[in-house]
């Protein structure tokens, strides 16, 4: 029996995919354009029902890296650098993919500011907190992350309207 995983697509839908993944899908997953999730859409942690033994939840930091996602090796594929930039620096995966591998490699090990503010398109919500209804998606991501509802990576995979709904549900 082939193993399968569940992936949240760019539109937010949950897709069951058989392993091994086709190379274009694997690259999109590595870059952070797609996110692995549990069958119910909850964040995948590598544990729980249906998780194959010995399988990890992806590129998460270890005790040796103090919980931080390790920087890819210099000879790593560009997709790995894009995923690292999106996960560690909070960059939009599509914008990181538009950068050259050399530019991605020049990024510092860890962002100097919090991940949400590391990307220039992400604005911190006004002192009142909640962004206006017509605010950019980046502002809604910053708000949802600041409220502790989602990580920057998970929030980036939702639509602006989904982020607004999530903020209103609180």
> In the predicted model, is pLDDT for residue 9 greater than 50?
yes
pLDDT the model gives residue 132:
82
How does residue 113 score in pLDDT terms, banded at 50, 70 and 90? low
In tens, the pLDDT along 43-73 reads: 877 654 444 444 444 445 454 545 566 788 8
> In the predicted model, is pLDDT for residue 110 greater than 50?
yes
pLDDT the model gives residue 67:
55
* Residue 106 placed within a domain: no
Range of the domain at 160: 115-169
* Residue 78 placed within a domain: no
User: Using CA atoms, how far apart are residues 92 and 137, in angstroms rounded to an integer?
Assistant: 11
* H or E segment to which residue 6 belongs: strand 4-8
- The answer for residues whose C-beta is within 8 angstroms of residue 85's C-beta and 6 or more apart is 91, 96, 99, 104, 107
Q: Between these two residues, 134 and 69, which has the higher pLDDT value?
A: 134
pLDDT the model gives residue 112:
66
Phi-psi group of 165: left, alpha or beta (phi > 0 → left; psi -120 to 50 → alpha; rest → beta): alpha
pLDDT the model gives residue 55:
44
Q: Between these two residues, 117 and 13, which has the higher pLDDT value?
A: 13
- The answer for residues whose C-beta is within 8 angstroms of residue 124's C-beta and 6 or more apart is 116, 117, 142, 146
* Residue 128 placed within a domain: yes
* Residue 3 placed within a domain: no
pLDDT the model gives residue 16:
92
First to last CA, the chain: 41
CA distances in angstroms from 49 to 59, 73, 127, 169, listed in the order given: 20, 32, 42, 28
Q: Between these two residues, 5 and 47, which has the higher pLDDT value?
A: 5
Report the candidate in 22, 120, 103, 165 with the shortest Cα–Cα distance to residue 84: 103
* Residue 58 placed within a domain: no
User: Using CA atoms, how far apart are residues 166 and 81, in angstroms rounded to an integer?
Assistant: 30
* Residue 73 placed within a domain: no
> In the predicted model, is pLDDT for residue 39 greater than 80?
yes
Q: How many independent structural domains does the chain possess?
A: 1
- The answer for residues whose C-beta is within 8 angstroms of residue 106's C-beta and 6 or more apart is none
* Residue 89 placed within a domain: no
Least confident stretch, 18-27, 60-69, 81-90, 142-151: 60-69
Length of the chain in terms of residues written: 170
User: 67-80 b/e with 16+ CB inside 10 Å = b?
Assistant: eebebbeeebebbb
* Residue 129 placed within a domain: yes
């Amino acid at each position: 029996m082939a193993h399968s995983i569940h992936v949240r697509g760019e539109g937010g839908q949950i897709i069951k995919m058989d392993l091994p993944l086709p190379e274009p899908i694997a690259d999109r997953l590595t870059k952070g354009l797609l996110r692995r999730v549990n069958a119910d859409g909850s964040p995948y942690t590598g544990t729980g029902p249906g998780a194959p033994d010995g399988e990890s939840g992806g590129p998460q930091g270890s005790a040796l890296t103090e919980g931080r996602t390790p920087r890819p090796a210099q000879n790593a594929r560009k997709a790995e650098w894009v995923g690292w930039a999106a996960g560690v620096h909070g960059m939009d995966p599509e914008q990181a993919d538009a950068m050259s591998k050399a530019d991605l490699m020049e990024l510092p090990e860890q962002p100097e500011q919090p991940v949400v503010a590391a990307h220039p398109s992400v604005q911190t919500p006004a002192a009142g907190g909640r962004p206006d209804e017509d605010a950019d998606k980046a502002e809604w991501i910053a708000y949802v992350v600041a409220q502790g509802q989602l990580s920057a990576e998970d929030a980036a995979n939702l639509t602006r309207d989904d982020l607004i709904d999530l903020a209103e549900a609180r």
